[in-house]
Amino acid sequence: MRAFANPLLFSESFGIPADVLDKAGLIDPFLNVDTPLFVDPILLDKSSIEIIRKDAYAALRKHFENVVRLLMISEKEGDAPWRGAQKLLNLREPPANGLGYGTSDRAGASRPEELRDVILRTTKEIVQLGARDPEMISLMGFFEENVGPDTISDLTSRVIEPQLAALTRDFCRQFGIDVKRSSLAPEIELPHYKSVTGKERAIVLVPKDIVRELPVANDQSEVEAAIEANAAIRERVNQFLALIVRPTVTDRKAAIRAAALQSAALFESFIAAMKQQASFYDPNVDALGYYRLREILTESKSNFRTGEQYKLEKGIDEIVRVVSDTLEMFRHHVEDGNLWEELWIGEQPKRERAAQLIYYAIADSFCKANDVDISPEANMGGGPIDFKYSKGYKARVLVEMKRSMGSVVHGYETQLEIYKDASQTNHAVFVIIDYGDLDKKLDTILEIQRQRRARGEPASDILVIDATRKASASKRR
């Protein structure tokens, strides 16, 4: 997967304050990498923006109704109604909205036709129960393992693209942002962005209150909450699990699927329960650290200036010094400032990605502020984020970051070594974000490090950052 470096926000590229987008209720997307948020179709009719709440929601229901109607009259796969449903279920990624798990340049991607047919088969199965609610298609990420949040998000975005485009055009006209028609946007005037490769893209903006970290159908905790809130579904799920002593997550998902698909009435009550649980990505909670990432990237670079001189032509040791200084700045803000607050949701630690994204923003800003001709590259896909600093072909340093409650020993002993081999480097720093539950894991990896060095083998450095909850700055002495 390609990496992401030198992030560029819509607000920065088009010369408007970021808070203008906030006040308009719109996401400020990155233009050269996808933002890890997803449009959840279940949220459309809850939006505070009228064109989304009314027009986009109506368009989505109408589109899905047409799919359901075709499947109702389809007698077998491959007949005319089935082919019509296939045509309507367009899973190609819309490259203009900047959401999902993409990488640099945000190129749209096609998904296998088989995935589309899996969704149609499950929808047909539900239709045969007698259920007719077109929003059943919004829940396919729950019923089918391979239907990820990006699939449902992209399908939804394609259907409601006319409403998103109109919303974007009106916003841009209001704030003096140039818009135009092109082969990329033949129907409506939109802002365009040209990447460093010279490729141009039309951009559409997305409301903040229709996106989530994961759509409800892919968030197991909210699925469980929906089941608990529905007595009929809960009872049937328990019946399916009665003979399993220790049900796995797969067992439980299969039981919920079987329970929901027992009858049209149960399925429709299941949809209602799922919709009740849905809520948009909360900027105040910021579970992914996306808003904090954006805030750091738009801060004055003077906040990250140190006065140090870095001479990268000296080689790997100087790159190691740059990496160490970025990590020290991150550590300082977490341990001695209030940045630890951004790593918690109430009494629970945020996901690993939040710390990783915040560190990325600090490191990128640090390099730019100190005129260092190098910046971190981050794998911004759906999996774990790792960071690579490189100058030339051979001088590379990796940073791998783990939460203390995660697979720390495996991460240090095995995973980081795989990354190092792939990057052809012996230089890496293993960072542990300690939430107070590190226990004996640190002793174990320190011993691994000691043994490797005793054998004359390269062993990655280890840095522990104390992210435990602290008193507010005003109460600390």
pLDDT category at 106 given cuts 50, 70, 90 is very low
Contacts of 294 (CB under 8 A, 6+ apart): 9, 18, 28, 361
pLDDT the model gives residue 380? 54
pTM, 2 dp? 0.80
pLDDT the model gives residue 24? 97
Residue that is written with structure tokens 């049900």 in the block: 247
Selection from 73-87, 377-391, 459-473 with the highest mean pLDDT: 73-87
pLDDT category at 176 given cuts 50, 70, 90 is very high
pLDDT the model gives residue 241? 86
Selection from 102-106, 349-353, 442-446 with the highest mean pLDDT: 442-446
- Percent of the chain with pLDDT strictly greater than 70: 90
Q: Return the closest-CA partner of residue 233 out of 271, 202, 176, 201.
A: 271
Residue that is written with structure tokens 């909210």 in the block: 222
Look at residue 218 and tell me whether its pLDDT is greater than 60. no
Q: Name the phi and psi angles at 126, rounded to 5.
A: -70, -40
Among 82-96, 103-117, 378-392, 410-424, the minimum mean pLDDT is found in 103-117
pLDDT the model gives residue 422? 81
User: Is 427:449 a contact under the CB 8 Å cutoff?
Assistant: no
Mean pLDDT of 205-228: 74
For 316-325, write each residue's pLDDT tens digit: 899 999 999 9
Q: Return the closest-CA partner of residue 391 out of 5, 113, 1, 2.
A: 5
Look at residue 219 and tell me whether its pLDDT is greater than 60. no
Among 47-56, 69-78, 110-119, 463-472, the minimum mean pLDDT is found in 110-119
Average pLDDT, the chain: 85
User: Is 47:209 a contact under the CB 8 Å cutoff?
Assistant: yes
Contacts of 203 (CB under 8 A, 6+ apart): 10, 29, 31, 96, 97, 98, 168, 190, 191, 192, 193
- Percent of the chain with pLDDT strictly greater than 90: 44
Q: Where are the beta strands (DSSP E) in 117-213?
A: 180-182, 185-190, 192-194, 200-202, 211-212
d(CA 35, CA 204): 13
